[in-house]
Amino acid sequence: MNLVLYGIRNCDSVAAARRWLDERGLVFRFHDYRAGGLDPDRLKSWVREVGIETVLNRKGAAYRKLDPTVRAELSGDRAIAAMMDDRLLIKRPVLEGAASLLVGFSPADYERVLLPKPSS
């Protein structure tokens, strides 16, 4: 598995995911998309795979700071453009390279996807 964890360095959810991966000895590369940027095609591929509602962080401070009329219009290409303009609008972390794309950190989801139980 070639795991890449995307997020921002000072995010608690990203830190929890990094800790979870480290504790299980899973090798991954961390990409801070605030410092290192993000390819728009990668963001579009995430949206295609899991949907805009999964990728767009509607619970964060960056979303709450948006004008209500802007928030009402955030869908499709407008939402992608907004996330590229302010990467804090992307739900964190995003983990690529597993059997499925994981957005947000849930220990149960990481366990299910990354440490599948052997079939008996």
Residues annotated as catalytic are 11
Please say whether the beta carbons of 92 and 15 come within 8 A: no
Pair of tokens at residue 23: 């504790």
Q: CA 100 to CA 111: how far, in whole Å?
A: 12
